[in-house]
Structure 1
Amino acid sequence: MTTHPIALAIHGGCGTLPKAEMSEAEWAEAKADLALSLKAGWAVLGKGGTAVDAVEAAVLVMEDSPHFNAGHGAAFNADGEHELDASIMDGSNLAAGALCCVKRIRNPVSAAKALMRQGDPLLLAGPAGDTFAEAEGLDMVENEYFSTDRRRKNLSSMKIRELVGSASEASEAEKHGTVGAVARDRDGHLAAATSTGGYTNKPPGRVGDSPIIGAGTYARDGRCAVSGTGKGEFFIRYCIGHEIASLMAYKGLSLEEATRQAIAELTTHKIGAGLVAVGADGSIVAPYNSEGMYRGWITPDGFVHVATHGEVELAGQVEAA
């Protein structure tokens, strides 16, 4: 059987804070968590595990970190609650699972994978998603578990902006944030997973692109796997994940050119957007148009790369592919 070099890339959202808004220690912690996420996913792939299990493992680490808008550290909606969205997709057979507006699942990405394994339905919303996860024996928490002081400040800031009419001027960091991972395993299969708390001060019940297959998450063997971050409403309108795969399949574009075109479409709307993607050949891209994007990848030689703004840093080395 032919084996393929493994590949893995992650993002922690394009809603990256300006450098001055976090201490050096906080930036170091965020980068350390990106590295931990990469190492978790790489460990799965290195042992011959599936791309699906690898993207779940990588996203789990970011859901548990307070530095990203997913799981613990998720944004508040307008009612001061957390409503979480997540999805996962297997490029080998187009199987997928997704949840939206769930409130009690510690790690929504694992619930999405459990739903995918069940096979039907593909997407569950609200209390039905929480009930499903509980029945599956997944870790359940009170909604307050997801709260952090930084997100409370973001909510206060957005409510003030709403009152004075300056909400459109808010930074990406005040508004958005998402985490995601894409991978190729030794069998050449692709997978993608995405998880988010949505945007700060969102209306209760709002669903973004992260749990919408073909928009914020898409994986298809022979083409690519994509996980996006940014203003979800536009990712949905353009079906960004599927669009990238289609540009590659129908126009013969490279992964780099297809993703560049997709981000350019979103840029015309003056919205912050970014994504990570892996091609069928194991190539990796991480384009974005905002001030920064939490992101990382591991090269075949095992070097771990992480970044928040323009500069990419080396964050250690793991076993080579």
Structure 2
Amino acid sequence: MVHKAIRCLLLIFILSSWSITESSWSITETASAQQKKAADKKYVLVIHGGAGAMARDKITPKQERDYKEKITEALRAGYKELQQGKSSVDAVVAAIEIMENSPLFNAGKGAVFTNDGKNELDASIMDGATRNAGAVAGVTTIKNPIKAARAVMEKSEHVMLAGKGAEEFAELVGLEIVSPSYFYTEHRWNRLQELLGSKDANRKTELDHDTTKQSSSRSLKVDRDKIGTVGAVALDREGNLAAGTSTGGMMNKKYGRIGDSPIIGAGTYANQDVAVSCTGWGEFYIRTVAAYNLASRIKLQQKTVGEASKETIAEIGELGGTGGLIALDKDGNYAAPFNTAGMYRGMITEDGDIELYIF
């Protein structure tokens, strides 16, 4: 009996240890485990809030709770649109708008500062059914850039508008225009001052959640913090897909730098097979045409969304880039690979069940 009791205690200890350490596996194993859980479910909305080096011991319980609550709110907003029979485009905009209005993410209200102390925002959206798309870049007065991107797609003959012209267009079509001071947040401002006060201030920039990394292909030193581009992909009741991405860009950036988020095919893409939104070191997503190449792997090579997504992130990693992406296919299967320590992400099924992950 004693030996039997000891064996039972050991079994309980092993199982409890497994539940604690399961999310500490390597990124590939963690993603694989989550994908197995998702095998028999149909997902209708997936969102992300940035990928990077989220050290477990640096995220407080309150911070984790705040992020999860806001991601849950965004999922519910998008899901409500889908439940009412609205389009995947409606769902994407609703979800991203919630995150743009939060100071937690590097998008909208939480946008980071450029080298000269400004907030420059980018966003894009794509309708998979029609392959219509819209984007805005380098805007400073549009409260919700994702709405401006949609307006470009639906109310102009263009795909991308930038700077003052995009702002004039947004005001013309009735979008909410705010003072540039609306985007000021103290923690972002203080972080810029820290960077400007460093020895190599002219060379330091910050992207999404990550630590200092020396690129093998560039001498630029990229110091990254816990900030995050946001994105959403959705599947509506008609079987149509859509994708959208919104960002405040790169902390301490210069020269009007534009990343992948507003570029169709790089940071955002959707067709009748899959919808994709990316987050990470934008230059590498542009160079690999990441979102479009993922879709091409599915269409031309008959890859699953999981296989295509994993190969896309692997290609970015081989070039020295970091980040992640979310992808949702026409059957409701999703993938959310990343080559960093974690990525804020959430999913909701057609039945309304919500899943949240960081690591």
TM-score normalised per structure 1: 0.90
Select the structure of larger CA radius of gyration. 2
Give the distance between the partners of 1:292 and 1:181, measured in 2 at CA: 17
Amino acid at match of 2:282: G
Alignment of 1:40-119 (within 5 A): 40-119=77-156
Quote the residue 2:313 is aligned against.
263
User: What is the Cα deviation at residue 119 of structure 1?
Assistant: 3.8
Larger mean CA deviation between 283-292 and 21-30 belongs to 21-30
Mapped partners of 1:50, 1:166: distance in 2: 41
What residue in structure 2 maps to residue 209 of structure 1?
260
Q: How does 1:159-238 map to 2 (within 5 A)?
A: 159=196, 160=198, 162-163=200-201, 168-169=212-213, 171-173=223-225, 177-221=228-272, 223-238=273-288
> CA–CA distance in 1 between the matches of 2:85 and 2:141?
32
- Alpha-carbon distance in 1 for matches of 2:347, 2:47: 6
How many pairs are equivalent?
A: 303
Cα 1:158–1:122 shift into 2, 3 Å: same
Shift of 1:164: 9.1
C-alpha contact 1:177 1:198 (8 A) present in aligned 2: no
Flag structure 1 segments of 5+ consecutive residues without an equivalent.
311-321
Asked whether the 8 Å contact 2:43–2:347 carries over to 1, the reply is no
Cα-to-partner distance string for 1:217-251 (whole Å, 9 max, x where unaligned): 00001x20000001111111111110001011111
| Aligned-partner Cα distance in 2 for 1:188–1:78 | 43
The alpha-carbon deviation at position 269 of structure 1 amounts to 2.9
1:316 equivalent in structure 2: none
Question: Is 1:137 equivalent to 2:137 in the alignment?
Answer: no
Distance in 2, matches of 1:232 and 1:103, equals 20
Q: 1:68 to 1:278 in 2, by over 3 A?
A: same
- The Cα RMSD (Å) is 1.8
Question: 2:86 is aligned with what amino acid?
Answer: G
Q: Which residue of 1 aligns with 2:189?
A: 152
Within 1, Cα distance between the matches of 2:314 and 2:158?
34
Structure 2 contact 43–348 (Cα < 8 Å) conserved:
no
Structure 2 CA distance for aligned equivalents of residues 143 and 19 of structure 1: 34
Contact 1:181 1:194 in 2 (8 A): yes
User: What is the distance in 1 between the residues matched to 2:109 and 2:307?
Assistant: 35
- CA gap 1:257/1:6 in 2 versus in 1, 3 angstroms: closer
Deviation at 1:15, TM superposition (A): 3.8
Secondary structure of the equivalent of 1:57?
A: helix
Instruction: Select 2:297's aligned residue among 247, 253, 258.
Output: 247
After superposition, the C-alpha distances for 1:183-240 in whole angstroms (9 at most, x for unaligned) are 010000000000000011111411111110000000001x200000011111111111
Q: Distance in 2 between matches of 1:16 and 1:29?
A: 18
Change (3 A) 1:32 1:161: farther
TM-score, normalization by structure 2: 0.81
Letter of the aligned partner of 1:58 in structure 2? A
**Structure 2 runs not aligned, ≥5 long:** 1-41, 206-211, 214-221
